[in-house]
Structure 1
Amino acid sequence: MKRDHPIRWSNLYLLLVFIVLYLPIIYLIIYSFNAGDTMDRITGFSWRHYLTLFADTRMISIVLNTVIIAVLSALLATIIGTFGALGIDQLKKRSLQNGILSLNNVLMVSPDVIIGASFLIFFTFLGVKLGFGSVLLSHIAFSVPIVVLMVLPKIKDMSQTMIDAAYDLGATKWQTLTRVILPAITPGIFAGYFMAFTYSLDDFAVTFFVTGNGFSTLSVEIYSRARQGIDLEVNALSTLMFLVSLLLVGGYYLLNRYNEKKKIHRAKASQEVDDA
């Protein structure tokens, strides 16, 4: 009987945490269907704010900008971060490896305001026009360390005997990379891509500093509209973004489950061959 109490208290605490986290989101979603224009009270159910959102060509353009930036920055950051993690793993000196990892983590622990201001000063010094290019470069820069942190543990867990066996069988470095190493660390690469995509999608502080006139992203646009007053079109947009996030998380979970089942199936097949 005594063992039941900690479990009950832990479940109660977990429930409380989820309520605190999701109650504001549920509140926002409910009012996105409000027939009125304010969040003072619910006057009825309506799709009006969603119809207004889809009729807002400026907002649709900003959504496309945000998605394009997120997809491109996550893709490029994943490529750079993956090869960066492979390079770090190949370093012989432990002190040099730890030093580079520490430098890699600087962007992870530095305040976003400082990072954004640094990029603004850097682009101004180089004479780079603020807009799509400056936002894309900034998002790639702060996403690369995330990818490195996701991919490097998978590289460390990879069996060195697989690589040695590939070389013994006559595989070139490129064949070993594409047919042995990359497939083995694929879960880490996908995790890095999803994390980079998510960070880019909802980043505000860094993006706020490096956007120029005529270009904006969702986070900056929502902030600008929120300063002007409550707009339930923002609620509708936030609801759709939340649903997209749920789909991404669900897709990532299903992909992990598929990879795990595939790995188990391969292990069973290998065991059956050994037994035979």
Structure 2
Amino acid sequence: MVKKRTWATIYLFIVFIVLYLPIFYLMFYSFNKAGNMTHFTGFTLDWYQEVFSDKRLIVIVIDTIVIALLSSVISTALGVFGALAIYLTKSRRSKNTLLSLNNVLMVSPDVIIGASFLILFTLIGIKLGFFSVLLAHIAFSVPIVVLMVLPKLQEMSPTLIDAARDLGAKRLDVLMKVVLPFITPGIFAGFFMALTYSLDDFAVTFFVTGNGFSTLSVEIYSRARQGISMSVNALSTLIFLLTLAIVLIYYFFSSEMGKKKRRSGGEHA
């Protein structure tokens, strides 16, 4: 048993090195005065100053954050109702069908999803730009929220709903005062996952951008194609730190909710 744990620890350590070493390498050279990724000649913040002095880039950052927040809020609302619809479906076959359709979007290649949205928007006459990117981000975020919320619904005891109805609660009261408070951790998890996916998405966004509109991921790609620049490293570092901050905020909220749940459970006991 001890040997298995040791090998598991070594395996995880190697995986983390493979995943994070390129990121830290990129971050390290974003402070390189020489402006290359071969020789570190001195520490500088010039590349970060270049990023913050770029007005076009600031507009892209704002657009990216707005898209991420709007798509996360809307997809969270839709995902919660989608999870409720799957949970309340009585037929096992229908429930499995709906869940399978939801999961198909999760495992489908981003290139296929992006190309499909491009064809759809072209056929129905939606101009490529802010609105098309927003719709695409909502669409691929909803299945994520459903998968985050549905397990919390399945953990909920049906007797809670039955007890609320026996006490005279209406359907809306049951939803607002019983169901939603119980699945709040899943809702927060879905929101933060959707937010992270929206901020980081490239493949789908690349297909549906247009009319001068861009997001950070697409902008980094276009700049990287023009040649190696430490400003790209600086911008990538800032995105990584933003994503890390979102993960830490989610961890904080989930920890606090877990503590409150344990306290309330202890008081009831």
Partner of 2:181: 183
Partner of 1:205: 203
Per-residue deviation, 1:238: 1.2
Partner of 2:193: 195
Per-residue deviation, 1:61: 0.8
Per-residue deviation, 1:122: 0.5
Per-residue deviation, 1:253: 1.1
Per-residue deviation, 1:190: 0.6
Please say if 1:61 is aligned against 2:59. yes
Please say if 1:34 is aligned against 2:32. yes
Deviation by residue 1:186-219 (Cα, 9 ceiling, x = unmatched): 0111111111111111111111110012100011
- Distance in 1 (CA, whole Å) between partners of 2:116 and 2:244 is 33
Partner of 1:260: 258
Partner of 2:248: 250
Partner of 1:5: 3
Partner of 1:20: 18
Partner of 1:165: 163
Amino acid at match of 1:78: T
Please say if 1:129 is aligned against 2:134. no
- Distance in 1 (CA, whole Å) between partners of 2:149 and 2:2 is 39
Amino acid at match of 2:12: L
Per-residue deviation, 1:5: 2.9
What secondary structure sits across from 1:42 in the alignment? coil
- Distance in 2 (CA, whole Å) between partners of 1:184 and 1:44 is 53
Over the residues paired in the alignment, what is the CA RMSD in angstroms? Answer: 1.0
- Distance in 1 (CA, whole Å) between partners of 2:86 and 2:13 is 41
Q: Describe the shift of the 1:99–1:61 C-alpha distance in structure 2 as closer, same or farther (beyond 3 A).
A: same
Partner of 1:120: 118
Contact 2:196/2:246 (8 A) holds in 1:
no
Per-residue deviation, 1:240: 1.3
Per-residue deviation, 1:9: 2.4
Partner of 1:51: 49
Per-residue deviation, 1:21: 1.0
What secondary structure sits across from 1:38 in the alignment? coil
Deviation by residue 1:9-61 (Cα, 9 ceiling, x = unmatched): 22222211111111111111110111122112111000100111110011111
- Distance in 1 (CA, whole Å) between partners of 2:6 and 2:110 is 39
Per-residue deviation, 1:157: 0.7
Query: Gapped runs of 5+ residues in structure 2?
Result: none
Please say if 1:226 is aligned against 2:197. no
- Distance in 2 (CA, whole Å) between partners of 1:123 and 1:240 is 32
Partner of 2:99: 101
Contact 2:220/2:236 (8 A) holds in 1:
no
Per-residue deviation, 1:172: 0.9
Contact 2:144/2:190 (8 A) holds in 1:
yes
Amino acid at match of 1:194: F
Deviation by residue 1:140-171 (Cα, 9 ceiling, x = unmatched): 01111111111111111101111111111111
Query: In structure 1, which of residues 171, 174, 194 is the aligned counterpart of residue 172 of structure 2?
Result: 174
- Distance in 2 (CA, whole Å) between partners of 1:18 and 1:149 is 25
Per-residue deviation, 1:103: 1.3
Q: How many percent of aligned residue pairs carry the same amino acid? A: 62
Partner of 1:86: 84
- Distance in 1 (CA, whole Å) between partners of 2:43 and 2:255 is 38
- Distance in 1 (CA, whole Å) between partners of 2:102 and 2:211 is 31
Partner of 1:141: 139
- Distance in 2 (CA, whole Å) between partners of 1:35 and 1:46 is 5
Deviation by residue 1:91-148 (Cα, 9 ceiling, x = unmatched): 1111111111111122111111111111111111111111000000011011111111
Partner of 1:154: 152
Per-residue deviation, 1:237: 1.1
Contact 2:80/2:149 (8 A) holds in 1:
yes
- Distance in 1 (CA, whole Å) between partners of 2:91 and 2:68 is 35
What secondary structure sits across from 2:64 in the alignment? helix
